Amino acid sequence: MWFSMGYISHPKIIPDAVEERKYQMTLAKNCLNANTLIVLPTGLGKTIIALYITAVVLQEGGKVLMMAPTKPLVEQHASVFKKLLADTNIGVMNGLMSAEKRKGILEANDLIVSTPQCIANDLENGRYGMRDFGLVIYDEAHRGTGNYAYVTVAEHCTQKNRSVGLTASPGSDIKKVEEVCRNLRFMRIDVRTENDPDVAPYIHDTYIKRVEVNMPKELLDIVDILKKLLDHYFIELTNLRLTKENWPPSTTHMLMIGESVQKRLRRGERSATLYRGLTVQSICIKILHAINLAETQGMSSLRLYMAKLNEDAQVQKGNKGGKELVARKEYLDAWNMVYGSRIEHPKVSKLMSLVSHILNTDPASKVMVFTQYRDTCDVLVEKLSCIEGASVGKLIGQSNGGLRQKEQIGILEEFRNGIRNVIVATSVGEEGLDIASTNAVVFYEPVPSEIRTIQRRGRTGRKSDGEVYVLIARGTMDEVFEYSSMKKEDQMRSRLEKLNRELSLSVEEGQLKLGDF
């Protein structure tokens, strides 16, 4: 059931422009009382909550800084605020502008919407301070860990700067959530899910369907060769006494081994064991990636990856481990099979059938396909473009010759306007962007991150019921990643609620100093 409760009334918000929802008003008013991290599923109006808090602070005479991780997100937020805020000068900033121009924009406007890196740099260089800002908003606040620019900005904030964080999912790792709260000075966490009574009336049903496929014999044979090669090197790592007992040869295990060896080297330890260990660990990571591509992506992605390994090995100063790997007979056997094969992963034909069925059932449908890798993205765009009635677009990031910001925005605009009805996206399509309501979302593969799973899923079911299809190859890493994501998602809410109780208790007892636990 969907209902409206009228419109938000505030001197700084355009009349009759924003539907009033009780849960949004409750969350917004709570944020005005204490620095808060808001956790709210994608599509339920985190931007509207930010809009209301912004309006209140502007009415009080303070400036507002809203930051988002990417330029398309910044443009999106600025566009929404310009449409909905009355009598407000809004400036947009990014790192492509000169520092002097940014300073001028900051001084001339009431609301600044910006990427965080340039703000952090300007603050560090003393070009301006945070004194005039009554509110700082961190979109996709779960990024506020380590040395991310949000952390630097927060270090320049004082108790006079209210802080609000927005995220669809901060993750199940409570230590990381604690770090976000500590870094960005949040005193409380406000969580809402689709199941909360005040949110439920605004939720459309999202139906999740697992679609299983069987691996073809050719791919299984290649995986078998690669796994035997992995076993060979893993035994060597074990004989070097670098592995953890009873741990399988996973990527996580390999990264831990690499970190451990590097620490020992930094402490001044020098031995043939450590240097050989790094080489073997590097080889294992390459083999594991090849296995993952074979199992979850398909022959085209695997072929491109192995061709790159072959090419890199030809470089005189190329990676030592890569040179050793491509010279192995087992690797050469696998490469010959991959090079000579013309089969694709069964997920490709299954995806084509799904998209064809959706578009034939309702030609006005919009479908979003998520995949982990750009190579797979290119393959899927090519294949899906063969479907009658499908107009397919690609949405990828800007790095390494990807799409420029204007191109990303253009693709999304075409999707909204119905010029494109299928978008194939990498992770850039998961986070924050206001993507037009879709009838279906397809995961080409499960991802082991509960944050990314929640964000992908949130691309449908916004304005009408939606369907989520998850393609899974039986007996592969797909099943492992699916289980990992589900487990983390189950843990997330209970851990967040526990952390919020601890935060509240600390504040009540006067034990919490700003930025501390």
Q: Are residues 329 and 350 in the same domain?
A: no
Domain boundary among 316, 340, 364: 340
Q: Of 310, 340, 370, which residue sits at a domain end? A: 340
Return the number of other C-beta atoms located less than 10 Å from residue 263's C-beta: 10
CA distance 52 to 8: 9
Q: What is the CATH number of the domain that holds 268?
A: 1.20.1320.20
Indicate the residue among 324, 340, 356 that finishes a domain: 340
What tokens does 198 get? Answer: 């005040």
Q: Tokens at residue 218, please?
A: 């050719």
229 and 186 in a common domain: no
Domain-located, residue 481: no
| 478 neighbors 445 (Cβ within 8 angstroms) | yes
Q: What is the pLDDT along the chain (517 residues), one digit of tens a residue?
A: 334 458 899 999 999 998 888 889 999 999 998 999 998 877 778 899 999 999 999 999 999 999 999 888 898 899 999 999 999 999 999 888 999 999 999 999 999 999 999 999 999 999 999 998 999 999 999 999 999 999 999 999 998 899 999 998 776 678 888 899 999 999 888 888 777 777 767 665 567 788 999 999 999 999 999 999 999 999 999 999 999 988 999 999 999 999 999 999 999 998 999 999 999 999 999 999 999 999 999 999 999 999 999 999 998 887 889 999 999 999 999 999 999 998 989 999 999 999 999 999 999 899 999 998 899 999 999 999 999 999 999 988 777 778 887 888 888 889 888 899 999 988 765 555 556 567 888 989 887 665 555 555 554 444 445 788 999 999 998 998 888 777 776 667 677 777 767 666 554 454 444 344 3
29 contacts: CB under 8 Å, gap ≥ 6: none
**What is the distance between the alpha carbons of residues 175 and 250, in angstroms, rounded to a whole number?**
23
Residue 4 is predicted with a pLDDT of 47
CATH number (domain holding residue 180): 3.40.50.300
Q: Which residues of 497-510 are buried (b: 16+ CB within 10 A; e: fewer)?
A: eebbeebeeeeeee
d(CA 256, CA 243): 9
- 3-state SS class at 214: coil
Of 103, 121, 123, 125, give the one whose Cα is nearest residue 112.
Answer: 103
| Residue 392 bridge partners (DSSP) | 422
Does residue 240 share a domain with residue 327?
yes
386 shares a domain with 256? no
Whether 488 is in a domain gets the answer: no
Within this chain, do residues 401 and 336 fall inside the same structural domain, yes or no?
Answer: no
- Residue 321: how many CA atoms within 13 Å on its side-chain side? 14
Indicate whether 179 and 54 sit together in one domain.
yes
Residues 6+ apart with CB under 8 A from 515: 154, 182, 183, 185
| DSSP state for residue 143 in the 8-state scheme | G
Residue 468 · residue 206 · CB < 8 Å: yes
Nearest to 22 by CA among 205, 201, 168, 206: 201
Per DSSP, which regions of 327-414 are E strands? Answer: 367-370, 392-395
Asked if the structure places residue 479 within a domain, the reply is no
- Conformation bin of residue 103: beta by default, left when phi > 0, alpha when psi is -120 to 50: alpha
Structural domain contains residue 253: yes
Per-residue confidence (pLDDT) for residue 76, from 0 to 100? 85
Give the Cα separation of 450 and 404 in Å (integer). 28
Tokens, residue 125:
């260089």
User: Residue 514 has what pLDDT?
Assistant: 37
Cα–Cα distance, 408 to 221 (Å, whole number):
39
| Alpha-carbon span 183 to 464, nearest angstrom | 38
Question: Domain of 132?
Answer: 22-202+493-508
**12 occurs within a structural domain:** no
Contact 131, 63 (CB under 8 A): no
| Token output for 334 | 């696998």
Domain membership flag for residue 515: no
The set of long-range contacts for 299-302, using a CB threshold of 8 Å and a minimum separation of 24, is: 299/218, 299/219, 299/338, 299/341, 299/342, 299/343, 299/344, 299/345, 300/344, 300/375, 300/376, 300/379, 301/373, 301/375, 301/376, 301/379, 302/222, 302/338
Q: How far apart are CA 505 and CA 517, in angstroms?
A: 11
HSE toward the beta carbon, residue 487, CA cutoff 13 A: 8
Tokens of 436: 């037009």
Count of the separate structural domains present in the chain: 3
151, 298: one domain: no
Cα–Cα distance for residue pair 516/178, rounded to 1 Å = 10
Say how many residues make up the chain. 517
The Cα 307–Cα 317 span in angstroms is 18
Question: Both 96 and 168 in a single domain?
Answer: yes
The answer on 45 and 136 residing in a single domain is yes
Residue 170, pLDDT score: 76
* Crossing angle (nearest 10°) for helices 217-239 and 299-314: 50
